Every structure is written in structure tokens, then in C-alpha cells.
Chains A and B, each alone.
Chain A
Amino acid sequence: MNRENSRNRLMKELQTYSFAAHEALLYLDAYPESKEALAYYNKFKKLENQIKNEYEAKYGPVTSPNEAQSWQWNKGPWPWQLDGEVML
């Protein structure tokens, strides 16, 4: 359960930074000349990538891996599953 909690915490961080970057992405679509939005995007995209690397190192791939020692992509949990749920 402790592992689930720290996995959830890291996932929440990934979701937060990714969301902030995505929100800036939509804004930049309409206002590409905004330096403020670009700096915001860069800041949160960098944080998103850092946390994604950390998450993937600990809990397995979020996107299909660039290179893998062993194949983890098919291992759970899938996004709709609840904590502790096991898939056959």
C-alpha cells in the first residue's frame, strides 16, 4: 500500500505538470507570440519530463519505451484500474 501511495503521489505530480504544460500549449496555439506563455510552457514541460523519467524508472513505462531491458509495457496497472486491482 505504501508503494501505491508513493506511486499515486508521483503520478499526481506528472498529471499536474503535464496539465500546466498542456494548458499553455492550447494558449500558445492562439497566441504564439506570447513570451510569457512560452516561458510557462518550457518550465512545466521540463518538470513534466523530469517527473516522467522518475516515474518510469520506478513504476514502468508511461509511453512505449525507447529502449527496454525487459518488456514492461503490458504490465499493469492500466489507467482505469483502482489501487491494488490485479489483471490476469
Chain B
Amino acid sequence: MWNYEKRLQYPVKIKNPNPKYAQIIVSQLGGPDGEIGASLRYLTQRIAMPYSKIVGILTDVGTEELAHVEMITAILYQLTRNLKPDEIVKSGFDTYFVDHTTGVYPVAASGFPYSASQFQSKGDVIADLNEDLAAEQKARVTYDNILRLVDDPDVCDAIKFLRAREVVHYQRFADALGIAQDNMNSKNFYGYNPAFDKK
């Protein structure tokens, strides 16, 4: 079960609409390293995870990712307010607009729709946690790239918050991998998969 809180995790208040920025930032909604994929990755992986502490980490990080989905959608909403057709064409937002108007739809910046083929739930403790570590770093790089392209303090403030969370989640997943390895055979971590094999 989940409860909804009618608030953002961190404030998003963007004074100046900018459809070009929206077209870039939408990748963190529906792109390969976006927040939807992050949330689904952790909330599905946790089911086969045999270590209770790690299930807790996957649950709480996966839940926080949903709050990040909401922050990204708020950024997209605020960046696409009061647009005129000529601005839409000039900014290059027209290719998104023609299909979705200013509705929020999960696509990558390239236009490729969100796909679960961009993450894995392997059912293997070591493989899944290594994917999670990599995922947090890839999302961090995407936020770094957004910060390279965006020049608006209102937008950058929220993006910097999200970027910092990727680093913290990476640290918690490093803890999780340590917890897993403490429970496994240090002579051969790959000898059996505690999510499936019986000892």
C-alpha cells in the first residue's frame, strides 16, 4: 500500500516557461535513466530479494523515486505554461507538442517512449544491486548533463536536489551490496544465488 502526500519532496517554482528545457528534462521522466524506470526497478527487484535490510532499502528508495517522478512532472508543467505556437515551433518542442500538446507523457528526450526494457529485475542479488549502483550513477550523469544545458536558477535548483539524491541512493546501495556480501560465501560470491538457490 502507498499513501499520497499532497506536496512535493522539494519545492519547484519556475518563473519562466521554456519548452526547450522541458524537451530535455522529460528524459528524467521517460528516458533510459529516468525516475519512472528507477522506481519500477527497485519496487520490482525487492520482491525476490532475500535479505530484509535490503528489501527495506529498495522499498524506501523506490518510494522516494515516485516523489522524484512528481517533481519532474511539476518541472515539465511549469516549463510549458502559456506557450504560443511560434515559440513551440522555434524551440523544437513542436515534435512533442503534436502528439501530447502540453500533457505530460513519459518519453526520452529523443522521443522514444518509456520502456521497461531499459531496466532489469534479474532475480540475482549481486546482479540486481550492481545494476542499482550503475543506475544511480547514470541518472547522476543525466542530471549533470541537464545542468550543462540549462541556464535558469529556478530549474537548476530543483535539478541539483535530484542530482544529490542519486549520490545518496548510490551510497545506500553500496551499503546494501556490503550487507549481501556479509551474508554470502566470501570465497565465491557467485557460487549460489540466495534469491533462488537453496544452500
Contacts and interface: CB of A to CB of B under 8 A. Distances in A.
Interface of A: 8, 11-12, 14-15, 18-19, 22-23, 25-27, 29-32, 61-64, 73, 78-80, 82-83
Contacts of A31: 175
Given A15-B11, A32-B53, A78 B6 contact: yes
Interface residues of B, number: 30
Interface of B: 3-14, 53, 56-57, 60-61, 64, 70, 73-74, 77-78, 81, 168-169, 172, 175-176, 179
User: What are the 5 closest A-B residue pairs judged by CB atoms, nearest first?
Assistant: A30-B175, A80-B74, A29-B56, A29-B57, A80-B77
B5 A80 contact: no
Contacts of B56: 29
A80 B78 contact: yes
Contacts of B10: 15, 19
B148 to A, nearest CB: 25
9 contacts: A14-B7, A15-B8, A15-B10, A29-B56, A30-B172, A30-B175, A61-B6, A63-B5, A78-B6
Contacts of A63: 3-6
A84 B77 CA distance: 15
A2 B11 CA distance: 18
A38 B7 CA distance: 25
Nearest to B64: A22
A22 B9 CA distance: 10
A80 B73 contact: yes
B60 A23 contact: no
A11 B179 contact: no
A73 B4 CA distance: 11
Contacts of B4: 63-64
A31 B176 CA distance: 10
Contacts of A26: 57, 60-61, 64, 168-169, 172
